[in-house]
């Protein structure tokens, strides 16, 4: 087993001792929790439901007596799909509202925007969405999937089960798709796929005129080899993308599409009948058959007073991350971010698949990987699941600059990018 895997699999109990902390946390009658999700703009289609999920989780925790004998208070802001505004709103939450932690962001560009704020002000961000990896920060806990927990298993599935030989890497033009596709291109070439059998294309946020792009996909797929689309298209651009696939008769049996950013919430707004059989890779689907998931869905419907509101993967990530935060705060005996950060490593809580997810030293978690087929009711039929939990890998094995890096935020290492070849930390964070 290589050194990276040893560190990735290690779980370690954290310090119980508290440290000096901002008196605002102790003096307040409530513990404030920041919610930093777009409620307007191109990402509102995906992020609004995460705000609602957090409000439900906070409400449920308050029914149990809160945390450390105090009620939790949600502070909701709207960064409006404006990436610089995320940083401004994060600073406002920490400095003005004195929140103990923040749950938020969706796109990697929004996460990158707020990172300097969380580092400068020493607060905690729980990030609930699949992302490109190549990052490990002390002040961030990554509860969504790293590429080895979504993108790589999805490609493996298409190779083995669908016999795919040609690949269209279709993404929105920003950090997550570009880095993920860089990893996937390297992975595919390592698997023997020639460069001419890989097509990469990017479109802007909110893109709506998909006719030319879908025509190019059809042409690329008509050259004699089984072709698939790996989609990192994000936000409301997915609606016209899938509509145009249907309009041009791109069927799953001919050119399957596997999406990394399309879940139940995104499908709720479109006619899914032409999309039946296309795929998505996540770590959770609403259709997961477990008692804990059934209970979560019932709570969601009761809270929203709407039996048609769906659940999805980033909601589960917030469910895991929030419960981990509660457990770490109780373990540390304080909401002080430094103490909570130390206490988080090794914390294990139930996921919605019926197992437990644990926080690793690299601030990523263990998760199952699921592949689902779109059904005509907007749900997913789970066609594949990893036999066990997959530890999130912050640094890709397939990029030359990353393959020797590990992350371990426990003392005494406390390094996000330790180079196992040179024995040196390249800097505290990413």
pLDDT at 12: 33
Beta-carbon contacts of residue 306 (< 8 Å; ≥ 6 apart): none
CATH topology of domain 3-145+290-366: Rossmann fold (3.40.50)
The tens digit of pLDDT for each residue in 155-199 reads 999 999 999 999 999 999 999 999 999 999 999 999 999 999 999
Interatomic CA distance for residues 182 and 49, integer angstroms: 30
Threshold 0.85, pTM exceeds: yes
Residue 427: its pLDDT value, please?
72
Structural class in CATH, domain 148-282: alpha beta
Q: What is the pLDDT of residue 429?
A: 65
Domain parsing of the chain, residue ranges:
3-145+290-366, 148-282
Domain 3-145+290-366 matches domain 148-282 at the CATH topology level: yes
Q: What are phi and psi of 173, to 5 degrees?
A: -85, 85
pLDDT for the residue 28:
60
Euclidean distance between CA atoms 106 and 127, whole angstroms: 7
**Tell me: the pLDDT tens digits for 22-56?**
333 334 689 999 999 999 999 998 999 999 999 99
For 60, 122, 200, the CA distances from 219, given in Å and listed in that order, are 51, 51, 14
pLDDT at 7: 34
Give me the pLDDT at residue 24, please: 37
Round the average pLDDT of the chain to a whole number and report it: 92
Weakly modelled stretches of the chain, pLDDT under 70: 1-28, 428-430
Q: Which long-range contacts (CB under 8 A, 24 or more apart) does 214-219 make?
A: 214/241, 214/244, 214/245, 214/247, 214/248, 214/250, 215/248, 217/168, 217/170, 217/250, 217/255, 218/248, 218/250, 218/255
């Amino acid at each position: 087993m290589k050194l990276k895997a040893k560190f990735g699999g290690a779980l370690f109990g954290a310090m119980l001792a508290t440290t000096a902390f901002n008196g605002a946390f102790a003096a307040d009658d409530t513990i404030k929790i920041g919610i930093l999700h777009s409620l307007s703009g191109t990402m509102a289609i995906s992020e609004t439901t995460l705000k609602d999920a957090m409000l439900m989780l906070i409400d449920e925790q308050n029914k149990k007596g809160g945390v450390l004998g105090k009620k939790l208070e949600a502070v909701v802001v709207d960064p409006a799909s404006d990436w610089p505004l995320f940083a401004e709103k994060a600073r406002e939450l920490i400095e003005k509202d004195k929140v103990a932690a923040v749950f938020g962001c969706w796109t990697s560009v929004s996460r990158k925007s707020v990172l300097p704020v969380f580092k400068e002000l020493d607060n905690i961000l729980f990030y609930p969405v699949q992302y490109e990896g190549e990052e490990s920060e002390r002040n961030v806990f990554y509860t969504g999937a790293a590429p080895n927990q979504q993108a790589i298993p999805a490609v493996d599935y298409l190779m083995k089960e669908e016999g795919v030989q040609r690949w269209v890497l279709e993404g929105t033009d920003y950090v997550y798709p570009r880095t993920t596709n860089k990893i996937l291109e390297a992975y595919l070439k390592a698997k023997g796929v020639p460069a001419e059998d890989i097509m990469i294309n990017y479109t802007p946020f909110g893109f709506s005129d998909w006719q030319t792009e879908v025509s190019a996909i059809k042409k690329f797929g008509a050259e004699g080899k089984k072709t698939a689309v790996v989609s990192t298209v994000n936000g409301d651009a997915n609606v016209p993308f899938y509509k145009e696939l249907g309009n041009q008769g791109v069927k799953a049996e001919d050119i399957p599409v596997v999406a990394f950013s399309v879940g139940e919430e995104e499908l709720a707004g479109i006619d899914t009948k032409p999309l039946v059989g296309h795929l998505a890779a996540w770590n959770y689907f609403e259709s997961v058959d477990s008692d804990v998931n059934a209970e979560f869905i019932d709570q969601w419907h009761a809270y929203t007073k709407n039996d048609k509101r769906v659940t999805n993967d980033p909601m589960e990530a917030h469910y895991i991350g929030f419960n981990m935060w509660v457990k770490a705060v109780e373990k540390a005996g304080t909401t002080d971010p430094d103490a909570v950060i130390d206490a988080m490593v090794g914390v294990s809580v139930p996921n919605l698949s019926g197992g437990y997810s644990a926080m690793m030293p690299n601030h990523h978690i263990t998760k199952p990987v699921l592949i689902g087929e779109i059904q005509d009711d907007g749900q997913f039929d789970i066609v594949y699941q990893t036999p066990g939990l997959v530890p999130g890998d912050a640094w890709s094995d397939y990029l030359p600059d990353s393959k020797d890096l590990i992350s371990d935020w426990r003392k005494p290492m406390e390094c996000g990018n330790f180079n196992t070849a040179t024995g040196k930390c390249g800097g505290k964070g990413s």
